[in-house]
Structure 1
């Protein structure tokens, strides 16, 4: 029996199906290329850091690098103890989180559980605009405005110190903590809230005993994201925290962080291939490992506290 002759509608339909399949295949290839590019870039960064750091660690034992208390790579009697840079970096990040985590969590709870739709749609975009401010502006604001102001109230606060950059960093990472935490809290099903209200809980009890634990995986991700952002910040600490490697636990004093040192040494004054030049990559590798550890910890915490609804 001969096959029926296709009509105009059949031809149009078949052409549409072929175009749709072609577009779907093309989009799948584009998305795969983008995903592969991100993997390639990350791998290339790791390979370059390890390759450039290898020369440094052939000359300097890794134990001396991690435990030494003097960092003078360009001096005649060079010392390569990264502990002053590491302590300053972690101190700034820790102080910034002391500001961002409590404030960000409370603000996220307010936006999720208390604020009306109009208030939420006004405050959240305004808060996220803080991310658009260049970090160099934050750095000079910390140096020129905040430091002289706080010197009136904090005795012994130096003109270059770790405290003020930590406060500014806490403000800088606040939008990350608030935005991600608020999204996680709003993803908690309303059935949990309604059940808690049916049991006689007040609004703050629902927020802190039901919503916050239910969104803990997302809130933890916000904390880890803020921590990674604080550890990797460059311009604020380079401008307002100083560039002198100083092993101190007093935030009123100035000290160089890892990122500030990398900026200082990357100005083109060091000959390529020297041991001092390789310290740029060794400290960068250390910073990468620290960030990776935070991300692994965040992944574990998200997996540990994840709720499936």
Structure 2
């Protein structure tokens, strides 16, 4: 046996060990990703069932025509008229697409949030564990940008289903999701499903930064109160359930309030005609300017109160359920 044989013999076990370690790490990452998707999907679906009637009222308030008298004077008036016209189940009209969207949104948010944190710890702040709050806010924005691409087509169909088609005050059509999908594709092609993407991008980037940032910030504050002035994001043990829910509620309200005008513009784009009267394609900035000129800042925040109110219990449930499942299946 020569020197080369000896070196190869000694090197081979080490190489096998490295390959085994890499294989274990990949398996572990895959399992964590699967947990993010499964737990996030379940939490998102539960949250959507709680908030959907309020979301229907919000979209109907946002989508009132510029050139006609307001159909609803406020959230309570909209809720009352919707109940009279459609019944309680009518407030859940179009929920099939949002349930898919909620599963996609929440799972992709938690999944991409974890990936963003891993990337920051690997390439930007390799020696920072836990990450500072500013880095977590950035990771939240990145997760929102990714999620917006998945969410816009689902929200397009959802918004079109939530707002009845009317002529002179008479409901004439209530198309189903497959009819609307076929119509969008037939008239506008595959890219028509991303009509309103700019609004979703702004809302999701800014909103997700606020969502995760608020949750992490309130969580850190509670842990500091309990354990002193250390950054205890990595401290063992979990917060009491009421503190988790409070952190989630603050996160939900922050998400919805700060970037609400972008959501209003998106809803108006998605429930109106894609082409304006001049034949030009509607743009995010064009619709925003028209809304501002017609109704001012109040028009951009129409329906904001009920949205912020319903987001508190919904977001509290989402974070609490996600954290509980993480603890149950470590």
Fold equivalence (TM over 0.5):
no
TM-score by length of 1: 0.35
